[in-house]
Amino acid sequence: MSTKAIKSALISVFHKDGLAPIVKKLNQLGVTIYSTGGTEKFINDLGINVVPVEEVTDYPSILGGRVKTLHPKVFGGILNRQDHAGDVAQMEEFNIPQLDLVIVDLYPFEKTVASGALEQDIIEKIDIGGISLIRAAAKNFKDTVLISSMEQYGDFLNLINKSNGTTTLADRKLLAVKAFNVSSHYDTAIFNYFNTNQNIPALKISETNGKVLRYGENPHQKGFFFGDFDTMFDKLHGKELSYNNLLDVDAAVNLMDEFKGEDPTFAILKHNNACGFAQHKNLHQAYVDALAGDPTSAFGGVLIANQKIDKATATEIHKLFCEVVIAPAYDEDALEVLKGKKNRVLLIQKEVTFADTTVRTCLNGVLVQSRNTITDTKDGLENKTNTQATAAQIADLLFASKICKHTKSNTIVLVKDKQLCASGTGQTSRVDALNQAIAKAKHFGFDLEGSVMASDAFFPFPDCVEIADNAGVKAVIQPGGSIKDQLSIDYCNAHNMAMVFTGTRHFKH
């Protein structure tokens, strides 16, 4: 029979918030309740009769509470097959009580790790009995109902109120699926804690927060986001973010993280690349300068600032159709302006720590690498030419290098006075990237005389520095490392150009 009435329940939980209404409802239905330890006391304090598990097992909780429910009379009551004659006979032979419902949750292992607790305290939060009860009850979903997390309390209470304490096979199977989601996530967290140094080359990722998107990269593709968006942002206004929006937001926050704590900085991104970027003494001018970099591509873009957006800046932004605006804060009158477009997404970015690794699918598997955490600095620069870069040029070179690091390879970035003049993005040759950048800068009216150039990788030939020189570039930053580095250095020396090496390549594919 697929529909079953709950007549008995084992309740043993760490989190008791929201549990009382369930216990009271079960008592109202005449359900026999078994429990242990703190949960048993909690139920007793509600004035509800509860049978201690020790009365069933004839065995006390031992080893400081490490062993409480691990007993054949408990697991027999959960795992027995009610339509199996042999199981039914053994239940009677060994006086094992039937357990129709199991409510259990797990010790807060992840929270304990996140708190910076000592290893011994973390180890004590590795649940044994709870995880065993979950697996047993989920395996026997045909006969057993399982609540495996406090997040399920509300839905379960609604279920038993509506059905008067009965469940269908479909109900029980769905709860089993949820339970295996809980248990697999828990085991993944434990493994990753012990495998911090990646001594075992295994990849285990578990994200229990999932959201269905309108579609994927294109309308004919399905799309999902797995992650806790709300820990990174407060969404103040606008439509639901799309798959492509999320990719651009990710690119934007990673890029702007390079400029945290610096002068007012504004970026405009399109298809994961900065099409406008500028830094100024005030945010309004930084936005105006960023927009000037490519007002065409800015249409429909994602905008991000490293400082609070004021009304003057918001008024300029409002003239542009843009999908998303991100900032650490907004003045109230700025919000009023920006909310003038009902679909425009407004986000406040919170203080966050980025993941240590990046993951992407590849062939029939995945590629994993450590995050590119190296940012080029003045102290790490090596002068390679007779002409030395001035202080102003070094500031521009480092500014350009940061943008270059977050632009699709092959890329060349042209900067002047901390304003992105143009970039060549995602080109198959460095020469093509440079020519693209120069053509774009000229199209939008930039004078490249006195500008600087950043490259994400070395120059195998001197052709790029020659083209840049002819366009007006006076200083170059690149990682170096080509066996023909000297050819580019010689050209720079012959034409009074400054060149510095960083020693760090910044490919981004």
DSSP result, 83-123? T-HHHHHHHHHTTPPP--EEEE----HHHHHHTT--HHHHH
pLDDT in tens, 121-157: 999 999 988 999 999 999 999 999 999 999 999 999 9
Please check the confidence at residue 91 and state whether its pLDDT lies above 90: no
User: What integer best gives the mean pLDDT of the chain?
Assistant: 94
What do you get for the CA distance between the two ends of the chain, in Å? 56
Please check the confidence at residue 356 and state whether its pLDDT lies above 90: no
Q: Which residues neighbour 290 within 8 Å (Cβ) at sequence distance 6 or greater? A: 266, 267, 268, 276, 277, 278, 419, 420
Collapsed DSSP state (helix, strand, coil) of residue 376: coil
Top pLDDT among 373 and 37 is at 373
Mean pLDDT of 97-123: 93
- Cβ-contact 385, 499 below 8 angstroms: yes
Structure tokens that stand for 352 in this block:
């966050």
Active site residue 270: no
pLDDT at 44: 94
pLDDT in tens, 440-493: 999 999 999 999 999 999 999 999 999 999 999 999 999 999 999 999 999 999
pLDDT at 199: 82
Please check the confidence at residue 97 and state whether its pLDDT lies above 80: yes
- Cβ-contact 276, 267 below 8 angstroms: yes
Q: Give the pTM.
A: 0.86
Amino acid at residue number 401: S
Mean pLDDT of 317-329: 97
Given the residues 7, 15, 25, 139, select the one marked as catalytic.
139
- Mode of pairing for the β-strands spanning 233-237 and 265-270: unpaired
Distance CA 92, CA 90 (A): 5
Collapsed DSSP state (helix, strand, coil) of residue 491: helix
**Percentage with pLDDT > 90 across the chain:** 87
Please check the confidence at residue 379 and state whether its pLDDT lies above 60: yes
pLDDT at 477: 98
pLDDT at 129: 87
Active site residue 271: yes
pLDDT band at 1 (very low <50, low <70, confident <90, very high): low
Please check the confidence at residue 14 and state whether its pLDDT lies above 60: yes
pLDDT band at 233 (very low <50, low <70, confident <90, very high): very high
Please check the confidence at residue 198 and state whether its pLDDT lies above 80: no
Mean pLDDT of 152-163: 95
DSSP 149: S
Mean pLDDT of 89-110: 92
- Residue 420 CB burial class (10 angstroms; 0-12, 13-18, ≥19): buried
**Percentage with pLDDT > 70 across the chain:** 99
pLDDT band at 246 (very low <50, low <70, confident <90, very high): very high
* DSSP for 243-310, written as a single string: HHHHHHHHHHHHHHGGGTTSS-EEEEEETTEEEEEEE-SSHHHHHHHHHHH-TTTTTTEEEEESS-B-
The listed range with the strongest mean pLDDT (40-54, 68-82, 190-204) is 40-54
Please check the confidence at residue 68 and state whether its pLDDT lies above 90: no
pLDDT at 66: 73
Given the residues 16, 24, 271, 495, select the one marked as catalytic.
271
